[in-house]
Structure 1
Amino acid sequence: MSRASEDSGPVRNGGDLVVETLEALGASKVFGIPGQHALGLFDALSRSRLEFISSRVENNSAFAADGFSRATGQVGVLFLSTGPGALTSLAGLQEAYATGVPMIVVASQIPLDGLGARRRGMLHQLDDQKASAANVTKSQRLIQHASGIPSAIQDAWTEAISSPAGPVWIEVPQNVLLDPVMVPAVEDALAEPFDNPPRSELVKEAVRWLSDARRPAVIAGGGVRRSGAEAALLSLAEKLHAPVICTPGGNGAFPWNHPLSLQSWMEDRHMTEVLEDADVLVVIGSSLGEVTSNYFTMAPRGRIIQIDAEPRVLESNRPALGIRADARQALDAFNAALPAAEHLPDWHGQGTEDMVAGALARVQARLDTQGLERERRFMADIRAAVPDGMQTYWDMTISAYWAWSCWDAKSGQFHSAQGAGGLGYGYPGAIGGAVGLGERVLAVSGDGSAMYSIAELATARQHHLPVTWLIVDDGGYGILREYMEEAFGKATATELARPDFVLLAESFGVPARRCAPGDIRTALEESFAAEGPNVVVVEARIGLFAPTHLA
């Protein structure tokens, strides 16, 4: 069909309505991979101002849209094909859903007359495609008429950015994308997040607890960062003279070297003991889940105030005064209602700052006994090389497990795949960050996780993205090797044949270098100063610290 005529100009279709609505809502970038049933959507992109970033695997497209959103605070947009393409994205969407990353996912679908009729045997056909996304997105919509596209996307955008934020799935059948429309061009669209304040009686009760507390403490989770509540958290902590520890997702929510900062040593028993000793423990934007509770070993003896925008999180692991609210709105309400402290905390004869300093010293002393000088130097050298404001993306690798505890995010942002824990997040997430920021970012992967996203070297090269990829090559799935050796005395199926990562990167046209662990700082600094994408490979077997004294 001709796209234009002399009388009427370009023929608009449902795909145009999709991209026009996204533009009106403020989208500027789209991630994804074209597909047969989505061709109308991608053709419409050619008539829009949206920039398309073409990944090589749909799962990595989802990670990239996630990384873009985390870096910029904007909504990530993902275009998917039908069937295999849509399904391949699900692991990436699980991470976004678990971590609360706002995304709009537009998946194509077979023509309307084929839906539910599997016997027709149409290419890519599923019995119910959107049902496959139900576990990894906030909601799922099927659009059956082009006139419904603008409102459906606007509603989805509102839902995606409302706390708890997350990805929202929209399906548009092939014929709805392709058929000409009478609907005029979308001129404006508005999506504002729903208000999510705390209930007043719960704020009053929490303030009463905190006013009487002698040893208050705070756990800051990812919800603090997602809601932009860092300043409110700092104000509350200083008003209460309460120590604050950040979860991996909350890393950066509280100043690392503040006198009240317990940093992020969530997996050390010394920190667990401090939190257990609190008479009121405020948990903000965290489920008190596996890592935050030091693998469910933490048993608080005091009362717990738990604040989270996701009601299913509240009291999911511990009885608490559960407050369903956006973290910033709740902390603002606490700060407004809390009177000036009438007494300073007393941690068994110590003030809070002395207690914090002592706890951090005990953590370092424990590390001193574990023969981890190489690992600690390695992480310190990476931190020294990374500029203060650079954003970093960490895959599920031993280096990331160290970073969860020891990485001072400074004025940059720390991003990892701790929400769902899947492999392959680091590099495509960093690609999305570089697209959004227009500046260099760092990705850190192991050799096992690197192979999940190795094809995205082509994406980085094609779009000339300033991503430095650090691959720590230890010859296998290092963290699983450690877990199995500790549990069974030996590891099985953890060793991997892998490529020469330097030669492989160079075959994509991406500069790469290999360095020794002791030279990592220089190698990274030189790579950061270069243009476009590059790769640094370090062959090193990195051990993990033990949370208690070694036997």
Structure 2
Amino acid sequence: MDNENKVFTTADAIVKELVRAGVDTAYGIVSIHNMPIYDAILREGSVHLVCARGESAAVNMADGHARSTGKLGVVITSTGTGAGNAAGALVEAWSAGVPILHITGEVSSEYLGTGRGYIHECKDQLQMMEGTCKEAYQLKVPGQASGFIREAILKAFQSPSGPISVEIPIDFQSAIITNTDIFDEGVPALSSPDPKDFVIPDDVAAAIMKANRPVLWVGNGALLSGASQEIQQLAEMIGAPVITSQSAKGIVPEDHPQSIGHFGAHGDTKQFLASADLLISVGVRFRSNETSGWSVKVPENHIAIDADYLAINRNYDAAYGLVGDAKSVVSSLIKELTFREYSGPSKDYVQEIFQLRESLRSQLRDTLGPYEEILDSMRNTLDKDTIFVRDVTVPANVWGSRLFEIYEPRHSIHASGGGIGQGLPTAIGAQMANREKKVVLLAGDGGFMVNIGELATAVQENLPMTILLFDDSGYGVLRNIQEAAYGRQVGVDLVSPDFVQLGQSMGIETVSVGTAADFDQELKNAVQSNSLRMIVVNMNEVGPMAKPFSGPPGVAEAFQPKKINVR
């Protein structure tokens, strides 16, 4: 060991840069194509390695870690198939703009691109990774490893933020290089900087001053910027309702009287927007599923605030585009309106906003049937600082992402790209990064089975998370959409295992419930416990919702046969 410690390798340089960036946890699976990096982490001693059971789940764990903290997520995978397994989860991180560093091995440098069948060889791994990430790079000179990794980390945080994949040929990882100290000012900002003044154009300020019915639509860009306080202050100053994307839930406490929340595609919200005379959007992508396939109409008087130049006019035209850090721009906007002694809209408008908020929630509650009691049990029992992670399932889509109130940013995590099965590993990453808080996962049986092996990871790491597993023996969302679109179903019925026995076989305290009252009692038991618990909700016993969920507005209609004109 003494002789080993006298040399410095590419793997050591990689670990040195991770530590410099504040990384304390890395996720992944050890392989013959990343063993030198794993060994370097072991020798350095300060980074905890979480051993996932699959590469895709490992990326989700790094994703959950990053989303819940705002820090860098790190995942280490193998070459070829191992890197390919990570691809889908990297697409999710790209869709959500999550700063992740994906480190993967590569075949020995002399065999790159030869097609000679070197173990784990991929036809063009770098291109595969490029298609799943913000950017992908290959280390070509071992001695440049420190700067290579440092630049990759910076790229992950630069707007628009997202996952960066770096591949290191296996022979390079053990190469002896110079231990170079690099001094620069490029340390990545792991928390939002103090807002700097952004010059607000007169036309923009005048447009707000003239508005009588302003609306705020806030997305993930505001969350990434740490602009929660500024968004709430601006909303209160101009008397605007706050519509949020799913990613931005909690940017304004959802019990705030001006919080509309994740209801942008609802018919009543559409009608309200039609009467608005100003929209200020902050870091919003305006995804298809959050705008009913872009059928939501927004005011022509639209001020778009985003850190990405290409976000302006991507989905909705803007009269004014303010490109910069959301925290900085909104802070400067508040200062400008204060200077101009802006007085805000009428009290009648503020009351109208509150009525819209209450009506939206009341209408949705009326569809829940027995699940309304389960929703209330969750909100009454769980602490306000609970981190709520949701997989794609009927309870999450209908009420988990809308009616379950979130009070702080980064306390709500859901798949931005819509892929199922990512909830469990994402929750594991969030709990690893937030040991002092309770992480609660809401999942359905279909998605849960995708990464079921990660239960063993949660047990191995002794995580105190609570899993709420809603079992309807199938892909419930697709089942309902098919029924609404075709009046028939195919490929959606699944055989569920005995989840109680499955959980107990791994040492997890697991119970099954079939009533809201039983759920309430078991949830209280889980909250009082500091151990991993799983509550399986038998949806057949609980009963159907009062109104079946048939997908987001307009989805079922989109599958009806129609003529398409192709030129």
Q: TM-score, normalised by structure 1?
A: 0.92
Cα contact 2:96–2:220 (8 A) shared by 1? yes
Post-superposition offset of 1:364: 4.2
Post-superposition offset of 1:36: 1.3
1:128 maps to a residue whose letter is: D
Post-superposition offset of 1:278: 1.1
**Of residues 184, 187, 190 in structure 1, which corresponds to 2:179?**
184
Structure 2 match to 1:363: 360
Structure 1 match to 2:557: none
**Of residues 508, 513, 517 in structure 2, which corresponds to 1:510?**
508
**Separation in 2, partners of 1:426, 1:367:** 24
Structure 2 match to 1:276: 274
**Separation in 1, partners of 2:37, 2:385:** 37
Post-superposition offset of 1:195: 9.3
**Of residues 85, 90, 96 in structure 1, which corresponds to 2:87?**
90
SS in 2 for 1:442: strand
Post-superposition offset of 1:102: 0.8
Considering only aligned residues, what root-mean-square deviation do their CA atoms show, in Å?
Answer: 2.5
1:327 maps to a residue whose letter is: A
**Separation in 1, partners of 2:491, 2:342:** 59
Correspondence 1:481-500 to 2 at 5 A: 481-500=479-498
Cα contact 1:484–1:491 (8 A) shared by 2? yes
**Separation in 1, partners of 2:409, 2:520:** 18
**Separation in 1, partners of 2:456, 2:228:** 37
1:530 maps to a residue whose letter is: S
2:134 aligned with 1:135, yes or no?
no
1:383 maps to a residue whose letter is: R
Structure 1 match to 2:535: 536
2:354 aligned with 1:394, yes or no?
no
**Separation in 1, partners of 2:492, 2:396:** 18
Structure 1 match to 2:333: 334
Structure 1 match to 2:262: 264
Cα contact 1:65–1:76 (8 A) shared by 2? yes
**Separation in 2, partners of 1:105, 1:354:** 48
Structure 1 match to 2:558: none
**Separation in 2, partners of 1:423, 1:112:** 36
- Deviation per CA, 1:58-82: give whole Å up to 9, x if none: 1100000010111222111111110
Cα contact 2:101–2:156 (8 A) shared by 1? yes
2:521 aligned with 1:522, yes or no?
yes
> Any unmatched runs of 5+ in structure 2?
554-567
> Any unmatched runs of 5+ in structure 1?
none
Correspondence 1:149-160 to 2 at 5 A: 149-160=145-156
**Of residues 342, 348, 353 in structure 1, which corresponds to 2:350?**
353
The 1:206–1:28 alpha-carbon spacing in structure 2 relative to 1, beyond 3 Å, is same
**Separation in 2, partners of 1:136, 1:202:** 36
Post-superposition offset of 1:163: 2.5
2:381 aligned with 1:410, yes or no?
no
**Separation in 1, partners of 2:193, 2:125:** 31
**Separation in 2, partners of 1:163, 1:271:** 30
What is the identity percentage for the equivalent residue pairs of Structure 1 and Structure 2?
A: 26
Structure 2 match to 1:373: 369
**Separation in 2, partners of 1:530, 1:365:** 33
SS in 2 for 1:62: helix
Cα contact 1:17–1:186 (8 A) shared by 2? no
**Of residues 98, 104, 109 in structure 1, which corresponds to 2:106?**
109
- Deviation per CA, 1:6-65: give whole Å up to 9, x if none: xx7544322111111211221111000011111111111210221100100111000000
**Separation in 1, partners of 2:539, 2:520:** 15
User: 409-418 vs 218-227, which deviates more?
Assistant: 409-418
Post-superposition offset of 1:344: 4.0
Cα contact 1:416–1:425 (8 A) shared by 2? no
**Separation in 1, partners of 2:27, 2:197:** 39
The 1:411–1:230 alpha-carbon spacing in structure 2 relative to 1, beyond 3 Å, is closer
- Deviation per CA, 1:83-112: give whole Å up to 9, x if none: 111111111111111111111111111111
**Of residues 425, 430, 433 in structure 2, which corresponds to 1:433?**
430
Structure 2 match to 1:501: 499
Cα contact 2:199–2:332 (8 A) shared by 1? no
The 1:357–1:311 alpha-carbon spacing in structure 2 relative to 1, beyond 3 Å, is same
1:70 maps to a residue whose letter is: R
Cα contact 2:265–2:296 (8 A) shared by 1? no
Cα contact 1:443–1:468 (8 A) shared by 2? yes
Post-superposition offset of 1:535: 1.2
- Deviation per CA, 1:263-319: give whole Å up to 9, x if none: 332332111211222111111111222233233221124421122223333212211
The 1:80–1:186 alpha-carbon spacing in structure 2 relative to 1, beyond 3 Å, is farther
**Separation in 2, partners of 1:376, 1:205:** 47
**Separation in 2, partners of 1:94, 1:273:** 34
Cα contact 2:67–2:413 (8 A) shared by 1? no
The 1:361–1:531 alpha-carbon spacing in structure 2 relative to 1, beyond 3 Å, is closer
User: 274-283 vs 321-330, which deviates more?
Assistant: 321-330
User: 321-330 vs 93-102, which deviates more?
Assistant: 321-330
**Separation in 1, partners of 2:158, 2:317:** 26
User: 256-265 vs 500-509, which deviates more?
Assistant: 256-265
How many aligned positions are there? 539
Cα contact 2:240–2:258 (8 A) shared by 1? yes
1:19 maps to a residue whose letter is: V
Post-superposition offset of 1:411: 4.0
User: 52-61 vs 404-413, which deviates more?
Assistant: 404-413
2:56 aligned with 1:74, yes or no?
no
1:251 maps to a residue whose letter is: K
**Of residues 18, 27, 39 in structure 1, which corresponds to 2:23?**
27
1:304 maps to a residue whose letter is: H
1:331 maps to a residue whose letter is: V
**Separation in 2, partners of 1:298, 1:477:** 28
2:292 aligned with 1:297, yes or no?
no
Post-superposition offset of 1:417: 3.2
**Separation in 2, partners of 1:371, 1:434:** 32
1:538 maps to a residue whose letter is: V
Post-superposition offset of 1:353: 2.2
